Structure 1
């Protein structure tokens, strides 16, 4: 059966309110009305610097420069160790942790805060803790949203997709991939199905949201923003096509 209009034509006074409301919505979205993650973000990858010292025999070449230990600031008259562009007496090339002082020549080192540490002390006392799994991060570390993660632990809250170098979007301080964030949190135009972006003009009518260019007569497609229209079957119509 033929449907009849379920709502009267809006008056000119109401049209003025409707147009003003669109302007307020635009201002609200531009100033942060949309979810906080819309600008996107990315994670920074860091890794501890590891290495091994090189033992050098005493240089007896006439006129050669006598090495100076970077730890005790004394000249080294015997073999010396080089690492990271610095020189050490063999007895001073040890773990920085005062309670350890383990020689590093044969086991390698991890550099942290300008100090050299054995692997045990780094993992025990200095390695960051992953904000998701609560385990120590011994290798590559992702720094994002003020927290630290294993690369394999920093993923979309909804679908679990790893971000890698891709941008992510925040909602209630939780990260989402762009597809899920758009699907879950953006206001969508009921006419075209696409998100209403920050700064877009939009219309709220018939308990739905529309981009301003999408708020058209369901029959002839004439734009109805700020115009009188009929509501029929939950859809907008111009006066000519409402009956």
Structure 2
């Protein structure tokens, strides 16, 4: 029985000592010192910093936790947030995914009518469209530039294999000259 009592006493002592010391620097807190308590750990206010850039974090500003480490908004975005395919900005919060592309919910729209893609996503000539636009699309082929994702007028069409480009988007990788002679 005394062995169990000693184990419990040791566990309580360890818990009390961990609560009274800073998670980062392991130094004790002063009696009247304000400190941050988060996720069951305690931090000196000056020790509560971004795990990447060491910027001082504040409970009044956005910060993010990943695997027990805290990050400022900028570093969290750079390290973990996907980039929206439509607007090219970081997606923090709800992410919509389609065919390995990420979107903000407000950017996840039909590329034809700009309506929400609530009933599924269809690809018509390289563009994400809603069911209604898919059904209404004429059977005449429309080509979408692989680089800018815009419709290509017949006079600007350049095809290589199964890929379509505006002629002015197809360049030599060496000298950067437009390859519009194909």
Decide whether the 8 Å contact of 1:141 with 1:149 is kept in 2.
yes
CA RMSD after TM alignment: 3.4
Structure with bigger gyration radius: 1
In structure 2, what is the equivalent of residue 149 of structure 1?
A: 103
TM-score (norm 1): 0.40
**Residue correspondences, number:** 120
SS of residue paired to 2:132: helix
* One of 95, 108, 116 as aligned partner of 1:162: 116
Decide whether the 8 Å contact of 2:64 with 2:73 is kept in 1.
no
C-alpha distance after superposition, 1:25-58 (max 9, x if no partner): xxxxxxxxxxxxxxxxxxxxxxxxxxxxxxxxxx
Instruction: Tell which has more relative contact order, 1 or 2 (C-alpha 8 A, sep 6+).
Output: 1
C-alpha distance after superposition, 1:76-133 (max 9, x if no partner): 44454222x2313214311111xx3122135434225333222333345554321112
In structure 2, what is the equivalent of residue 105 of structure 1?
A: 58
**How far is 1:178 from its partner?**
1.2
* CA 116–172 in structure 1, closer or farther in 2 if over 3 Å, else same: farther
Q: Unaligned stretches of 5+ in structure 1?
A: 1-62, 187-243
Decide whether the 8 Å contact of 1:107 with 1:118 is kept in 2.
no
The reply on whether 1:65 has 2:10 as its aligned counterpart is no
In structure 2, what is the equivalent of residue 130 of structure 1?
A: 84
TM-score (norm 2): 0.50
Work out the CA distance in 2 between the residues paired with 1:82 and 1:108. 15
